[in-house]
């Protein structure tokens, strides 16, 4: 039995779908089932059980065992709102909850694969999995970084698999419920449908209009990384999950426009409140991932956006 926390959310539901497609039938989805779009993320997928996140963790917090022993826990549940200001809520959701699951997996020798974040690098220019390059700038990033540090302390002595995935800018099907925290690809697609144009920020930090660069990675490629580690339980560590090459926001906008066959770009003033707090450049160093043995390809923005929007169209047909 495989447990996927956050299994009705964006990346989690894509894990559940991929596992189901591989023939896994003993799947337990853990989440807050409080949004219709989350439920639609699981449409057509057979799972063994759906559990509320608090119901799932309650036995462990009471010092008891789960009613079953998982073959692995893929922990994707988190508060991913980088603008969240309630530090207590963020630390409970992203750190304390994760810590309880992690300690259970260590004790029971259950593989534990969890979502970290590239936000831990802050406004740095080196994106390598090493403490000297990590400087989180907001509560969300601090919660992820603190948990990474906790895991690192146990990594050398652990007798079961521990893997952290530092996701860069993930986009793809299943993200509609995220609202303002959904990817720019999602928002650009919605803007084209509503208004026939895409709005991008004017230049900042030495970059031209719309030329700020991020490492945009398609969710299906992210999931393939996770499944590879699931198939290689002898591999542990904290790894960047990105394409290894940055592309511009203009690239994303133009890929969406090309798919629709219509639209234009409008540049809007860069918000004053984001100056000094905005990542104008990210690019995953995936050397550690490659050294570990992962050889899978990562789609370009142009290929990933086409696949993304094709999937959205097919699911509505």
Distance CA 218, CA 222 (A): 7
The whole-angstrom separation of Cα 312 and Cα 299 is: 17
Bridge partners, 201 (sequence order): 268
Rounded Cα gap, residues 186 and 251, in angstroms: 14
Greatest C-alpha distance within the chain? 58
Catalytic residue, chosen from 53, 99, 178, 197, is 178
Q: Check if the beta carbon of residue 186 is closer than 8 Å to that of residue 255.
A: no
Q: How many CA atoms lie within 13 A of 149 on its CB side?
A: 13
Clarify whether 178 is annotated catalytic: yes
| Cβ count near 41 (within 10 Å) | 25
**CA nearest neighbour of 73 among 46, 93, 53, 89:** 53
Using alpha carbons only, give the angle 145, 293, 244 rounded to the nearest 5 degrees.
55
The question of whether 308 is a catalytic residue gets the answer no
- Choose, from 97, 104, 114, 140, the residue flagged as catalytic: 140
Quote helix, strand, coil % in the chain, to nearest 5.
45, 20, 35
Torsion angles phi and psi, residue 163, rounded to 5: -135, 125
Instruction: Tell me, rounded to whole angstroms, the distance of Cα 169 from its chain centroid.
Output: 8
Residues labelled as active-site residues: 140, 178
């Amino acid at each position: 039995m495989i447990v996927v926390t956050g299994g009705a959310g964006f990346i989690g539901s894509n894990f559940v779908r991929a596992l189901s497609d591989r023939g896994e039938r003993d799947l337990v989805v853990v989440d807050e089932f409080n949004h219709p779009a989350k439920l639609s993320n699981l449409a057509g997928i057979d799972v063994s059980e759906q559990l509320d996140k608090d119901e799932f963790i309650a036995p462990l917090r009471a010092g008891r065992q789960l009613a079953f022993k998982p073959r692995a826990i893929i922990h994707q549940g988190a508060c991913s709102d980088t603008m969240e200001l309630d530090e207590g809520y963020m630390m409970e959701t992203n750190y304390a909850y994760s810590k309880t699951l992690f300690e259970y997996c260590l004790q029971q020798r259950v593989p534990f694969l969890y979502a970290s974040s590239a936000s831990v690098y802050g406004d740095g220019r080196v994106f390598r999995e090493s403490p000297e390059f990590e400087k989180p700038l907001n509560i969300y990033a601090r919660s992820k970084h603190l948990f990474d540090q906790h895991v690192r302390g146990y990594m050398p002595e652990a007798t079961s698999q521990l893997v952290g995935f530092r996701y860069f800018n993930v986009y793809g099907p299943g993200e509609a419920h995220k609202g303002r925290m959904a990817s720019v690809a999602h928002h650009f697609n919605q803007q084209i449908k509503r208004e026939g144009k895409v709005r991008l920020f004017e230049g900042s930090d030495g970059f031209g209009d719309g030329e700020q660069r991020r490492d945009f990675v398609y969710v299906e490629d992210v999931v393939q990384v996770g499944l590879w580690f699931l198939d290689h339980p002898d591999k542990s560590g904290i790894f960047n999950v990105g394409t290894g090459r940055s592309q511009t926001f203009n690239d994303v906008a133009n890929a969406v426009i090309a798919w629709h066959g219509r639209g234009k770009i409008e540049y809007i003033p860069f918000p004053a409140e984001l100056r000094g707090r905005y990542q104008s450049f990210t690019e995953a160093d995936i050397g550690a991932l490659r050294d570990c043995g992962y050889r899978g390809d990562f789609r370009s923005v142009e290929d990933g956006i086409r696949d993304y929007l094709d999937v959205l169209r097919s699911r509505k047909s």
